Chains A and B, each alone.
Chain A
Amino acid sequence: ETGVTQSPTHLIKTRGQQVTLRCSSQSGHNTVSWYQQALGQGPQFIFQYYREEENGRGNFPPRFSGLQFPNYSSELNVNALELDDSALYLCASSIAGGPTGELFFGEGSRLTVL
């Protein structure tokens, strides 16, 4: 069984640039959620994708966008990067209709915005 994998693990960008983060969900999982975790904070829900459509969104501006592909992998795109976007971005997969809140997280992509 393959777990959730994310890439890249670390990256550095400058303010105003754009970034794309990638996630492969765990085998058999069809739902992907993205979370942002600032240093010393708990993860904060960005959005969720199911059947290639956004299926729930947290309090994040439209410059945070995503995609889900037919193989259930996903991308998180952030445009016009701001310093406060520096954080660990976590992808989590689950099964639609499965146990509520039982998410399988990847190890995250650490984004630094200078």
Chain B
Amino acid sequence: EDQVTQSPEALRLQEGESSSLNCSYTVSGLRGLFWYRQDPGKGPEFLFTLYSAGEEKEKERLKATLTKKESFLHITAPKPEDSATYLCAVSIETGANNLFFGTGTRLTVIP
């Protein structure tokens, strides 16, 4: 059974305190792994796509990495505006936009 598990469920960081969010997956035929950011009351906002193990993508204070079983979203020196829920999703072979999402990690960055 396809599964995407994110940990931790919630994370509180002091401003400037770097950390990592984890997304582990068990799927057949991974086409891609995606990270989205969701602010309260808003729709998810696309951040990254990773296609193969060893791939890395960076955007400002965020860096996403991928292995054969999991992905990490590293947050370096976070700021309060990085507070959001970060969602991990996978695409399997049956359809490009049929994304299977995890339940997310709710990040709070305290000034």
Contact = CB atoms under 8 A, between A and B. Distances in A.
A45 B34 CA distance: 15
Interface stretch (A12-20, A64-72, A74-82, A104-112): A104-112
B41 interface: yes
Contacts of B102: 42
A106 B101 contact: no
Contacts of A61: none
Interface string A41-74: 1111100100000011010000000000000000
A102 B98 contact: no
28 contacts: A31-B97, A40-B103, A42-B4, A42-B89, A42-B103, A43-B44, A43-B99, A44-B101, A45-B98, A45-B99, A48-B97, A56-B97, A56-B98, A58-B98, A90-B43, A90-B44, A99-B49, A100-B49, A100-B97, A101-B32, A101-B49, A102-B46, A103-B99, A105-B43, A105-B44, A107-B41, A107-B43, A108-B42
